[in-house]
């Protein structure tokens, strides 16, 4: 059996590829949160983490973070930031900036290296 690679993928193929991609992203996010929680614990800081999956096209990540923060008895929202400026920030936006603008709880920004 030969496959014509010039044909576009079927919706079923695309759906499975998307599901695989989402699974890899979820696993990477869970691993990242686990390592950060371990770092906080080693420093004697109590923390809770939650991976938030944004599924609706057009939903802003910072809106999802704020919505979840209202459901938690957390004292502080901690958000990592790239610290981009200028064109990069303009093109990519800033989740951290959005959280700071709309948060009803204190926010701590941690700038990455």
Q: For residue 25, give Cα distances in angstroms to 17, 72, 81.
A: 12, 24, 19
Considering only residues 89 and 111, tell me which one the structure prediction assigns the higher pLDDT.
Answer: 111
Helix (H, G, I), strand (E, B) or coil at 78: strand
Instruction: Please report, rounded to a whole number, the percentage of residues in the chain having pLDDT higher than 70.
Output: 74
Set out the domains of the chain in order of their start, with CATH numbers: 9-49 (no CATH), 52-113 (3.40.50.620)
pTM tops 0.85, yes or no: no
Cα dihedral across residues 61, 62, 63, 69: positive or negative: positive
**In sequence order, which residues have a C-beta less than 8 Å from that of residue 80 and are 6 or more positions away?**
96, 109, 110, 111, 112
26 has pLDDT over 70: yes
């Amino acid at each position: 059996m030969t496959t014509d690679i010039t044909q576009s993928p079927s919706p079923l193929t695309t759906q499975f590829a998307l599901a695989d991609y989402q699974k890899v992203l979820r696993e990477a996010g869970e691993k990242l949160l686990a390592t950060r929680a371990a770092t906080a614990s080693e420093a004697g800081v109590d923390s809770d983490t939650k991976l938030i999956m944004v599924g609706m096209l057009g939903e802003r990540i910072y809106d999802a973070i704020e919505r979840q923060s209202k459901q938690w008895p957390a004292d502080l929202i901690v958000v990592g930031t790239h610290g981009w400026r200028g064109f990069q920030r303009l093109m990519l936006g800033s989740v951290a900036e959005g959280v700071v603008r709309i948060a009803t709880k204190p926010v701590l920004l941690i700038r990455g290296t």
